[in-house]
Structure 1
Amino acid sequence: MTERDPQILDELENDLRAEGVRITRQRMAILSALAGSTDHPTAEELLSRAREQDPSVSLATVYRTLSILVEGGTVLRNEFEGTGARFELADKPHHDHLIDLDTGDVIEFSSRRIEKLQEEIAEELGYDIVYHRLELYGRVKKKP
């Protein structure tokens, strides 16, 4: 987790308010943990981070808050094979994911070559890409 971006924190808070959700100390701790995330935390990891600020945060409140933010499109819920649900802010620039099968680490990457190839394939098949996700699953290569 990194230093919390106050602008992101404000946006998350405003998104909850727009849904008619009361902003409690517990929810602010959850939002703060989300705003400071540079990884793809699970609900349990967000709970642990939020409890650093407010020990009274419950897992149920984390799940309810995440559900509202996912439904509102502010947060993305990723279902990576073998890792369970992981969450990230939706306003990040487009990127793809590489999932380490041994550690469960999720690595973000961007490749203009991959994007270009996907566009070429869609064009050849007579389609415009509206949305896509690319997930690669692998293991660190063993050194000889």
Structure 2
Amino acid sequence: MTSPQHIFLKYLSKKGMAATEQRRVVLEVFLKSKGHFSYKELYIQVREADSSISSVTVYRTVKLLDKCGIAEAIDFGDGITRYECRYNRPHHDHLVCTKCGKKIGVVDDSIENLQELLAEKHGFSIKRHKMILFGICSDCRDS
């Protein structure tokens, strides 16, 4: 399996962009992060590793990580783009509570199979997908 560092370096090279030390630091911090986070939240973590890295560098680098397939941008309907690592992590869908904002990653083989059947029925080859279901979590329903 190709490492995320190699994937990123290859992408930068293909686009004629420099593989800077700051981009490397952002990548390493990103790969260690868990869950869904905005670039501003990532920036706070990056600053702990290297205080000389600007928020603009983090913003631009996370966009590059999304474009090369290491990260995935997700909009949970609150106006904030969040990112999660796609590299070497299993696919999952999301349930989002519209009251408290809780986000739950879910995997359901029957849904995945249905999506494949739908694609096949329409002669479509799925490369990737996102499914986000919005509703009220049990905690909010019970309160």
Question: What range is the shorter-chain TM-score in?
Answer: 0.7 to 0.9
How much does 1:128 deviate?
Answer: 4.5
Deviations 1:56-80, CA, capped at 9 Å, x for gaps: 2111111211222222233221122
Deviates more, 1:45-54 or 1:108-117: 108-117
What amino acid does structure 2 have at the position aligned with 1:85? T
Unaligned runs of 5+ in 1: 1-6
The answer for the alignment partner of 2:104 in structure 1 is: 107
Q: 1:130 aligns with which of 113, 117, 125?
A: 125
2:42 and 2:58 in contact (8 A); partners too: yes
Output the aligned Cα RMSD: 2.7
The secondary structure found in structure 2 opposite 1:77 is strand
2:22 equivalent among 22, 26, 31? 26
How big is the shift at 1:45? 0.8
Structure 2 counterpart of 1:94, from 91, 99, 103: 91
What whole-Å deviation, never above 9, does each CA across 1:16-75 have from its counterpart, x for those lacking one?
344333233322221111110221111001101101101121111112112222222332
Moved segments of 4+, more than 6 Å = none
Deviates further, 48-57 or 76-85: 76-85
Distance of 1:83 and 1:45 partners within structure 2 = 15
1:85 pairs with one of 55, 58, 81: 81
Counterpart AA for 1:19: K
Helix, strand or coil: the match of 1:88?
strand
Mean Cα displacement is larger for which, 89-98 or 33-42?
89-98
Calculate the TM-score normalised by the size of structure 1.
Answer: 0.74
Aligned to 1:43: 39
Q: Which amino acid aligns with 1:133?
A: K
Assess, with a 3 A threshold, how the Cα gap between structure 1 residues 69 and 136 changes in structure 2: closer, same or farther. Answer: same
**1:121 CA displacement:** 5.2
Normalising by structure 2, we get a TM-score of 0.74
